[in-house]
Structure 1
């Protein structure tokens, strides 16, 4: 494994073109109509609906974006620093594809639809590959952050013929007992208070791991309402926001799939695809040392570290040189 000490130079960023209304509109397709999808659990699923966005002109090679746990296929909404002219995901140069994962709740067949059927990350990869075949894509560059980073490792293991390079941001190759423990506590909260209240608490637990003590000291000190600490009102707000837009069944199913993804060292050493792994210096959910150590098992990996006090969420709120580094790797 090599390490990048400085961002690789890229062309200067230019003002981005706003996505057109056509770019912003989600598309849907029903897959596995003729032949069912056989899940790792042994269940067979037919007529799977997939919601996705594409940016740029269709072509046989594409950049596949893999979203985080509570994300969606609308990259322009949650990653505008990366999408646009002169940026790593440039629709004037690339064909960019992002789909809501199987079991999500943003237009793809959801965990609620599946009525308790367990899923794996490998199941999600099979659905993603079927979508790419539907779109006529034969080669991809993969980029994923957080849950999307874990999913990128699943793509590397399952589709070595399809993936030509991959970027993994803020994610290890497998969940540690610490990460599994956090998810277990979140799922316990949902089961103890179904109907939305437990999901709020699950989000509060997660938010504490998405930032760092230093980040909260900078942004959530004092009180916004007399007698209520700022951090308390912040966590309440985040829990209420997620409860309004996300499904507790998806939270249960997707976090369980993340926890169950446990590739061994020997599997990682068999990956021959070039990989850029990005750690975040203050990440308490996926510590940088863990990200680096597991990426080092991949023979063709390169490691770069984002130095930020803002923890796991720094890839969204404090990207700094990250777009330059990712853009240079994707198009080298």
Structure 2
């Protein structure tokens, strides 16, 4: 894994950070509770978020990935900044930590095991936009954020003007569910952190490709220890230091349970750019493209890279320009 991340690893800050407002925290659903898909109600939901640019009634909403957070300037320098797809000099950019996350928003541990859905997360995001006075959004999400973008298209069709979905299908395949099942099993078998480290190692294998590892993790960095072994141990330790195992289980379960039908997707009426990645073993390009085909007004573009799912971070190539062109139409 290289330095940048969208919920997959950490990065140094860019040399010049775009001016931001955050992290901020607001408590929503104080007067009218949030009804979850499971039937439970929540009141006083805390939401942590960042904004970039001058407040206005239209915005670009960024949806972070599984282990990401709302600080877009820290993890997406290729996309946030003057002249980039997320340009605070021309746009109002908003990103919030998801419900069930562990970066300031009401977390899974506080919810006592209540099951969450991606639609639940979208409803919390909608309430935040109402609080900020935003009436229309362009949605941009990658990986889990891309799946959450599908939930926004279904849950908030009156708010979404257009959407960009990067490296994500509309629904999890048995393969993706199986990987998450193994990760959650590791966490449950070894609670207290060791299982989360193993879960991260499992996930990291799916975020890259065999050729990517051959290029970046060959040989040994420590005598007698393969480079890929030390790399996976390092990634596990890093996630353990900053993340919550209850959040990991809750969010992956929500992703696995999100299974919109073809009819659901056929009802989406806004333009959507869907980006697949040629060597992605987590969400194969053919799977991502097939989901795009179920959207009436979609266009598909493929990032050609050896670096697997993480190519949108490690090797974006023309992706920022493609996204900018689509958002500015």
TM range (shorter): over 0.9
- Deviation track 1:270-298 (CA, whole Å, cap 9, x = no partner) reads 11110000000000000000000111110
What is the alpha-carbon root mean square deviation over aligned residues?
1.0
Q: Secondary structure at the match of 1:320?
A: coil
Quote how far apart the aligned CAs of 1:19 are: 2.1
Could you list the structure 1 runs, at least 4 aligned residues long, displaced by more than 3 angstroms after superposition: none
Which residue of the partner structure matches residue 18 of structure 2?
19
Which residue of the partner structure matches residue 103 of structure 2?
106
Q: TM-score, normalised by structure 2?
A: 0.95
2:55 equivalent to 1:61: no
1:281–1:112 Cα change, 3 Å: same
Which residue of the partner structure matches residue 208 of structure 1?
205
The unaligned stretches of length 5 or more in structure 1 are 1-14
Which residue of the partner structure matches residue 290 of structure 2?
293
- Deviation track 1:302-326 (CA, whole Å, cap 9, x = no partner) reads 0000001000011111111000000
How far apart, CA to CA, are the structure 2 residues paired with 1:214 and 1:63? 35
Quote how far apart the aligned CAs of 1:139 are: 0.3
2:269 to 266, 272, 278: 272
1:151–1:114 Cα change, 3 Å: same
How far apart, CA to CA, are the structure 2 residues paired with 1:163 and 1:241? 35
5 Å-filtered alignment, 1:1-332, equals: 18-20=17-19, 23=20, 25-332=22-329
**Deviation larger for 168-177 or 264-273:** 264-273
The unaligned stretches of length 5 or more in structure 2 are 1-13
Quote how far apart the aligned CAs of 1:115 are: 1.2
How far apart, CA to CA, are the structure 2 residues paired with 1:136 and 1:124? 19
- Deviation track 1:75-124 (CA, whole Å, cap 9, x = no partner) reads 00010110000000000000000000000000000001101111000100
Is contact 1:120-1:261 (8 Å) kept?
yes
Is contact 1:59-1:137 (8 Å) kept?
yes
Is contact 1:24-1:74 (8 Å) kept?
no
- Deviation track 1:158-183 (CA, whole Å, cap 9, x = no partner) reads 11110000000000000000000000
- Deviation track 1:181-236 (CA, whole Å, cap 9, x = no partner) reads 00000000000000000000000000000000000000000010111000000000
Q: Secondary structure at the match of 1:137?
A: coil
Quote how far apart the aligned CAs of 1:24 are: 6.0
How far apart, CA to CA, are the structure 2 residues paired with 1:83 and 1:170? 18
Q: TM-score, normalised by structure 1?
A: 0.94
Is contact 1:24-1:76 (8 Å) kept?
no
Q: What is the aligned residue count? A: 316
Q: Secondary structure at the match of 1:154?
A: helix
Is contact 2:164-2:323 (8 Å) kept?
yes
Which residue of the partner structure matches residue 8 of structure 1?
none
